[in-house]
Structure 1
Amino acid sequence: MTGLAVAVGEGRSHDVPGLLATMTGEERKAALPVLKEIRAEVRGWDWGRWRERGAVQDALLVAGAGCLSGAAAAAAWIGARDLRSFSAVSPRVIAGVLKDRDPAWLADVAHRLAARASTAQEDAPLIKELVALSGCETPTTDEYVHGWALTVTPARVGPEAVREDRHTRVLVPRMFEATPLPAALTMYDDPDNPLHWPSALARLAAEGVLERAALVEGCVRRLLRGGRPGEMRAVLQVLRGLGLTPAEESAHVADWAGMSADGLSTVAAHAQEVLGRVAERGELSTRALAEASAGVLFRTEKKLVRAQLSLLGKELRRDPAAAPELLPVIAEAFGHEDTGVQDRALKLVARYVPRVDAGLREELAASAALLGPVHRARAEAVFGVLADGAGGAAYEEILPPVPVPRRLEAAPESAAEVVEQLLVLVRGEEDVVAFERVLDGLVRVAHRERDTPAEALRAATAGQWWSDWTPRTADERFSQHTHGLEVVAATLVGRLSAGMLDRARSRTVRPGLCAHTGLAHTVSSRLWEVSYFLLTRPLPFLLATPTWHTGALDAGVLVERLREYGRLGAAPAAVDFAQALLRVSRSGDEAAAKAAAELGTREGDRLAAWLSEPEGVLPALRTAGADGADATCAGAAATPAASWAASAAGPGLGLGRRIAETRQGPSFQWEFPRPLQWLGHPQEVPLRGCYHWEGGDRYWTAVLPQDREALAMWLLPGVMAAAEHDARGNAWSLPALAEAEGVPGPYLHGALAAGLGARFGEDRLSAVDALLVLAARGQLDAEPAGRAIAALVRRGTVKLNRLADSARTAAATGAYGTVWSLLAAALPALLATTPAPRALGEILGVAADCVERCGAGAALALAGAEGLTDLAGRRGSSQLAVQASRLLAALRQGSEHSTPETAKTSR
């Protein structure tokens, strides 16, 4: 036992199997307490001993596996995360120290390891060894399937080994049931790559190693179930490699119908092809085709819908008697967003409507009311006068209700509630409202019951990533980054020193760094400051806790908080008070300013002066224009409409230049604490190389909730990256900026333009939300926003197909006039571009739809329509020419409806 303990303590894992072989069962049992002591000691080592720590962990893993007699305990020891080192122990070594155990015991351990979700994939080679030793049934958990598939790749062990592996026949069918699909299936796309699993599976089925019917069934079920695009692509590769027979295709008609209606576009396209082949063979009933088509025609993918209409047309030509059953389904496409789809559906119905009775004809005529205005005349030629649909009533713009500020709930009062919510935030997503409530609640509880929150946190944070750091290491790490509320938690449990927190809270931002550094430092400085006072003199509550969900603070509330501080004899914290000033609403509240002055305190006088400043005290937003002249960007009213678009057309968008001096001059730097003095200096807005771009920080918009144009300028490059560099999640700030206060200027409208052309749908939805909120508040200036869109398209930042998707989404809410006002400002420059930008036809289609529904209106008529006339006069039936003709016809028709009260005309 002594020899084993020494070998483990010295990290000699290669000696452990030999020592275990010489020990009796009693000796192994007696060694366990020593091994557990060593394990507990190793947990407390810092990362400076990482090499030594890894060696001891390896030795502990092997020794513990050999000494434990219970299957459950052995599996828990082997699967423990704290015994995993950078150099994994060979599974054969562990299996070697267990091979003399009873087969039933080995089987129990193997199945327990396979059931551990966190480690089964990593332990797949060991599990396979134990299954071979015990002769038990193969485990079939999802995690083990994932690990086995990665371990037994065709190239790693050779085709013969895959054929002969006893797990292959059992686990391959389970691969299609695992969630998610095993990574081995999706890792390689090239069929000629030896690691390509789909090709290997098809070959094994052809050789009879795998049951073909089980593979086909597994693939069909997985495609019907759905999944990520990469997963579906891999399953389709397997299915295509199998080469289904006509009988196999016909046996799954209901499954193909479900895929075509609800599957990913690639899966739906494949299912559509299969249904087409089945129909050509005459093996698809009219009812089955109608049921399948009903789901497909509701899809937004135009290619799929058009293909389905073609399939329906072929079936009607083959069997005209099917018209009564198929025409009602085709008529569902009358409400499709694409006018080309509507046109095809109308032509099909018109061709075969003579074959239906009067009742069905009346039903089809009712559906024709869904057609857009461009098709209304043709529909009336087929059905006669149609009932008034959306086109017969006076147009009314539909915008969302103006957002109402939501008041923050009171901070949690009990220590247990505060700790619970703190842990939720530490382990979850960023939430400004929850963050502010919990931070204020911690301060209040610590002031009232100093030791209670610390006691509650000690047990709850025992497993945190910083819990085993030495005080010196914790100070070093947390002095550079607060990790959100983790710094407060670490402070309360005694991991951080007051000296470090004092130095960190007073640190200033080095001049020349990007504005994002300043925003992040402002948030961090307040957390360091709160943590420092928790250790020295807990504050009664925080002054800067917002009143509203936007981060804004009511001036009267701040006055009352300062009055309570005076009653308690408490001195405000510098950063907390400065943040409160930046959040307070400067709306000319003379009563609040007078009440603040009457407090007779330095902070009261400062607040009164702040509220009396008519234009605020933040830096004037000035940047050099394309010609080198300064262009003021503090507000849209003082800015030429093309200022942002002009700078956007220049190299680097002109945003890498410095912001100019403050309005208040040196006094801003004197009267604000050092961590916030960066606001009084020029700040860089770099276009490239800023690590803050990746998603940004959700707390930044609450730093300056009254000055959204400054925030928009600093956050614009990140939103630009969402369009130009396919960054994901960078448009998160747009809805918050739309609800914030301050004059919306060219930077906010420029960020909106970039967000509407973002790569990912969730970012485009954020931009659409911001667009509609600005319009509802009467703050959308469509002219500069539209010109910014055109500038970004012309320089290749925004792709028109993405912009068209955003515009369709916004218009579909009922904001046709708002969308048209935006597109009307962008189209002149786009129409003048040679050659025509790709997907310009899509934009023209959305514009035409908006004009047809809301009426052009004299104030919104398209400038430079000669370019539209040239496109409409082109020969052929291209999408560009068709949609240009359609928009031109809608504009020439004039306004048959009331002029829509859009965001611009309503101000």
Structure 2
Amino acid sequence: MTDLLTAVNEGRHHDVPALVLRLDGAGRRSALAELKELRKEVRGWDWRRRDKVRKALLVAGASCHTGAAGCAAWIGGRDLRDWVRSPYQLILTALKDRDPAWLGDLAVRLAARPMASSAEYAFVAELARIACRPVPTTDGMVESWAELVDESRWRRRSGRVPLAEALRADPHVAVMAPRLLELPQVPPRVTVHGAPDSDDHWPAALASLADEKVLDRSLLLDQCMTRLVRGGAVGEQRFFLSVLLRLGMTDAEEGGRLRDWTAMAADGVTVVASHAQAVLTRLEERGELPTRELADVSLSVLFRPEKKLARAQLTLLGKALRRDATAAGELLPVVAEAFAGEDIVLQEQALKLVARHLPADDDALRAELSSSAARLGAVHRESVAALFGGLVEDVPEDAAPYEELLPAAPAPGPLRPAPEGVAELVEEVAALLKSRSWYGASASAPAPSSVADHERLLDGLVRRAATDRAGLAAALREALAGSRIADEDSGPPRSDPQYVTTASALSVMVASLLGRVTDRDFRQWHENTPRGGSCAHTELNSMLLARVQEAADAVRTGRLPFLLATPTRENGSLDPADLIGRLRAYRSMGVEAGPADFGQALLRLCRSGGEEAAVAADALGTPEGDRVAAWLRADDPVAPLLRHGTSDDRPARGARWRRSAADVLDALFAAEERRPARVELPAAFPWLVRPPLSGIQNCYHWGAQQSAHWVTTFPEDPETLAAWLTPDLMRAADDGNRGAAWILPPLVETGGEVGPAAHLALAYGLGARHAEDRISAVDALLVLAARGRLDAALLGRALADLVDRDAVKVTRLADSTGTAAGTGAYRTVLAVLAHALPGVLACEKQPRGLGDLLSVAADCAERCGTDGLAPIAGLAATAARKGASQTVRQAGRLLIAFGPSREESGARS
């Protein structure tokens, strides 16, 4: 035993099997106890020393176990595995004196555990062979088998062999290959199978073995059909369909699985549904598709989002009606269901089918179909009237007028005061610090409540520290015991403005109260304050950090009774009366306002108080009062935006490599320096004097950082904040970055003027790549409309400008505007599109998805009417084009809803 332990400690794993075989049962049990202690000790070693003994420890421990369960647990231990090949052959050697039944039990137990490599499969398979047992076919074993087969193709001396040859040579292929098709998730190395004629094509290899009778073809067919009916990820579904197509199916096999094909056509992924639809077409041509089954499946397929499938299903229904005219009573009502869809081409195709196959002597069927046809729009009204005559139901003249459905305009609530008692205050502070990450940004949209909690607790700490700093510090130290912020050896909190959050900023104040921040730390923090040239995220964060550090320094010296910039409302807005009252208290106590705190108070100040508030500020007779008065009297934003237009030297459509965020936005924005009323802002805010695009190329954040305190930094100036954060939204639309549009709903809930910058940011959000970002933009659009602050013309022109610049895709705009209209805001959406479509229709090259966007506009116009809206320039010319494309048809539909003007009529003729 001593020799064995010495060999293990020295890492001589090749010597271990012989040493173990020399031990009896009692010796192995004694050695195992020592090996378990060594295993615990090894976990704390340096990685180089640990790797030296890991293999020897694995072999020794496995071979010293007398029970199969313990041996399997030891071998499967993650801490004993290495990135290099594990010594399974040595374990086999050390276990050669065991009973075959024991080895078979070990194989079964190991197969039931997760497997990390193909070497484990080979080890278990060898154990099963020695025990004369079938190889286990657990999911882990099957996945590792597929990996081993792929690896074995590279080890041949003759070079890489085709996959079919490697499978043919494998002794377990007849058992493992069918199980491969039953895995909950087929390994990517199998589903990503390459070109059909390549040597890596798994479907071709499996079909080849089935032709050679190595695999059971009928079993493979059953498994593929089962998985295709069950559904799943698109990649896996393509794989099973490819195997099915390679195997081939006879007419009898196709006809015997009718229910499977109908299920696939109704619910399968697009590629599977398309194949099932083709099979159903063949069955119909052979007369093997019952009318009832066709009707049932058509009711599902006609409402699938894929227009191609729905139109092909109508074609199939037409074939069935031509073959059997007596089926009209059962199939035509199904065809009429297409009248309720949004695809105008599908509606027209269904209407033609009804006209062609409607029996002349079936009045009941005619009445039923005419009722369904009443749902068609005005573009089909003449055709419907010609087909059904007076049976078409007209809209009653006394119908209720259209009413727009918009969400209730949100109103920010007042900010609750901080708890007055020390225990309650400390409890909330500890909960906030322990429940949120100190650094970085959340992957989801931040909760505005986090900012409200931060502001009220920060003010509460300052107020309590002014009266009982020692008691507050003692309570904080007790509540935060065991956390890093209270650890005397962990150093001061990190204060990196790139990744600061409200929780990490609050930790700066807490650390100062606990005496963990030195004068040197404060000097370093002051020296590291950004002086310009950073990205918007960093500089917005620096404002929060500068204010908290300033307050922490003031609390340490005991000269700060309370903060000036604590908001009045949860959205960050500060009432003038509150600020003037706090400045009056500062004057009476002889307290000097902190530059960062006062600067933030100015940026939060609500300027709705008018001249009366300005006079009250003048009456203070202090420099701060004079600056508040000048701020209240100024009517321009912090960084006025002068231009929102186009540039003559912009890159051509599609030339994405020639564009950057700064290039695109520089043509849309320009800013002037602040007026004299805006001077003397603190050193942490110098970036406000620059145009809003400075430093954009210096942003190294991954994706859009999400910090709710950005909105409360400018609660009364959404234009400045929108200008600085629009690059994030541009990347969400152009590059596909995810999550940037979270800022839009809180942005439009702020006070102040919502102008070109905010509308441009909203336009980018409506054209974002990811659906969740577009949903955020739709929420912002509805809130803006509900508050009466939406400039439909401004937003519409911004959308047209971005489409013209190839900065957003029309298909995404169709999705987002359709979603907004679906909430009941048809008039709002139509007003925006009425100003966007002239520019979109004027594009030199028709953008993809224009028909869908016109469909949204036409649907809105038919629901809410067009009163007060001017005719859309270019609409008549588009509707008069040759052909029957979706764009032409939807343009005609929208033109009917608007009613052509004289100019439009002339253009159409």
TM-score of the superposition, structure 1-length normalised?
0.78
Q: 1:207 Cα shift?
A: 3.0
Any idea what the Cα deviations from partners look like across 1:2-51, whole Å, max 9, x if unmatched?
77777777777777767766774112322322331231345xxxxxxx66
Distance 1:64 1:593, change over 3 A: farther
Is 2:138 the partner of 1:152?
no
Is 2:243 the partner of 1:228?
no
Letter in structure 1 aligned against 2:268: G
Q: Of the two, which has the highest radius of gyration?
A: 2
Distance 1:779 1:372 in 2: 32
Distance 1:192 1:91, change over 3 A: farther
Any idea what the Cα deviations from partners look like across 1:41-98, whole Å, max 9, x if unmatched?
45xxxxxxx6666556666656655566666666566555556666564655666666
Letter in structure 1 aligned against 2:392: L
Among 407, 428, 448, the alignment partner of 1:433 is: 448
Letter in structure 2 aligned against 1:431: P
Query: 1:30 — aligned with what?
Result: 34
User: What SS does the corresponding residue of 2:751 show, helix, strand or coil?
Assistant: coil
Is 2:742 the partner of 1:732?
yes
What does 1:404-483 align with in structure 2 at a 5 Å threshold? Answer: 404-405=411-412, 425-426=436-437, 429=444, 431-433=446-448, 435-436=450-451, 449-455=475-481, 457=483, 481=499
Among 40, 45, 68, the alignment partner of 2:44 is: 40
Query: 2:404 — aligned with what?
Result: 397
Q: 1:622 Cα shift?
A: 5.5
Any idea what the Cα deviations from partners look like across 1:539-573, whole Å, max 9, x if unmatched?
99998787766555677888999999999999999
Distance 1:18 1:562 in 2: 86
- Farther-moved stretch of structure 1 (440-449 vs 129-138): 440-449
Among 121, 124, 131, the alignment partner of 1:130 is: 124
Distance 1:127 1:329 in 2: 54
TM-score of the superposition, structure 2-length normalised?
0.78
Q: Which runs of 5+ in 2 are unaligned?
A: 156-162, 462-471, 650-658, 903-909
Query: 1:745 — aligned with what?
Result: 755
Distance 1:146 1:775 in 2: 55
Distance 1:133 1:620 in 2: 77
Report how many aligned residue pairs link the two structures. Answer: 852
User: What SS does the corresponding residue of 1:860 show, helix, strand or coil?
Assistant: coil
Query: 1:47 — aligned with what?
Result: none
Contact kept in structure 2, 1:617 and 1:663, CA below 8 Å: no
What does 1:98-113 align with in structure 2 at a 5 Å threshold? Answer: none
Contact kept in structure 2, 1:840 and 1:880, CA below 8 Å: yes
Distance 2:574 2:862 in 1: 44
Is 2:899 the partner of 1:892?
yes
Query: 2:316 — aligned with what?
Result: 311
Contact kept in structure 2, 1:440 and 1:545, CA below 8 Å: yes
Is 2:858 the partner of 1:853?
no
Distance 1:605 1:326 in 2: 80
User: What SS does the corresponding residue of 1:450 show, helix, strand or coil?
Assistant: helix
Contact kept in structure 2, 1:488 and 1:527, CA below 8 Å: yes
User: What SS does the corresponding residue of 1:304 show, helix, strand or coil?
Assistant: helix
Contact kept in structure 1, 2:402 and 2:863, CA below 8 Å: yes
Distance 1:531 1:584, change over 3 A: same
Identity %, equivalent residues: 45
Contact kept in structure 1, 2:641 and 2:670, CA below 8 Å: no
Q: 1:99 Cα shift?
A: 6.4
What does 1:542-557 align with in structure 2 at a 5 Å threshold? Answer: 550=571
Contact kept in structure 2, 1:855 and 1:894, CA below 8 Å: no
Among 850, 867, 876, the alignment partner of 2:883 is: 876
Contact kept in structure 1, 2:16 and 2:56, CA below 8 Å: yes
What does 1:659-670 align with in structure 2 at a 5 Å threshold? Answer: 660-663=672-675, 667-669=679-681
Among 192, 195, 210, the alignment partner of 1:190 is: 195
Contact kept in structure 2, 1:626 and 1:654, CA below 8 Å: no
Distance 1:618 1:312, change over 3 A: same
Query: 2:158 — aligned with what?
Result: none
Q: 1:339 Cα shift?
A: 1.4
Query: 1:620 — aligned with what?
Result: 640
Among 807, 820, 834, the alignment partner of 1:824 is: 834
Letter in structure 2 aligned against 1:152: V
Any idea what the Cα deviations from partners look like across 1:667-692, whole Å, max 9, x if unmatched?
544xx3x5555445555456767433
Q: 1:291 Cα shift?
A: 0.9
Query: 1:644 — aligned with what?
Result: none
Any idea what the Cα deviations from partners look like across 1:509-544, whole Å, max 9, x if unmatched?
24222223323445666788999999999x999987
Q: 1:375 Cα shift?
A: 1.6
Distance 1:760 1:93, change over 3 A: farther
Letter in structure 1 aligned against 2:539: G
Distance 1:315 1:253 in 2: 16
Any idea what the Cα deviations from partners look like across 1:704-754, whole Å, max 9, x if unmatched?
343322222222222222332333434333333333333222222222223
Any idea what the Cα deviations from partners look like across 1:631-685, whole Å, max 9, x if unmatched?
xxxxxxxxxxxxxxxx99995342698855344678544xx3x555544555545
Give RMSD over aligned pairs: 5.2
User: What SS does the corresponding residue of 1:811 show, helix, strand or coil?
Assistant: helix
Letter in structure 2 aligned against 1:511: G
Query: 1:588 — aligned with what?
Result: 609
Distance 2:219 2:562 in 1: 65
Letter in structure 1 aligned against 2:850: L
Distance 1:431 1:452, change over 3 A: farther
What does 1:306-705 align with in structure 2 at a 5 Å threshold? Answer: 306-354=311-359, 357-383=362-388, 384-388=390-394, 394-405=401-412, 425-426=436-437, 429=444, 431-433=446-448, 435-436=450-451, 449-455=475-481, 457=483, 481=499, 498=517, 502=522, 505-506=525-526, 507-522=528-543, 550=571, 582-583=603-604, 585-588=606-609, 612=632, 614-615=634-635, 618-621=638-641, 652-654=664-666, 660-663=672-675, 667-669=679-681, 672=682, 675-681=684-690, 684-685=693-694, 690-692=699-701, 694-699=703-708, 700-705=710-715
User: What SS does the corresponding residue of 2:359 show, helix, strand or coil?
Assistant: helix
Q: 1:318 Cα shift?
A: 0.9
Distance 1:520 1:527 in 2: 11
Distance 1:880 1:585, change over 3 A: same
Letter in structure 2 aligned against 1:257: T
Contact kept in structure 1, 2:404 and 2:824, CA below 8 Å: yes
User: What SS does the corresponding residue of 1:282 show, helix, strand or coil?
Assistant: coil
Contact kept in structure 2, 1:522 and 1:675, CA below 8 Å: yes
What does 1:69-148 align with in structure 2 at a 5 Å threshold? Answer: 87=84, 89=86, 92=89, 120-123=114-117, 125-134=119-128, 145-148=142-145
Any idea what the Cα deviations from partners look like across 1:602-639, whole Å, max 9, x if unmatched?
9x96996698465487333457976799xxxxxxxxxx
Distance 1:449 1:623, change over 3 A: farther
Distance 1:414 1:87 in 2: 54
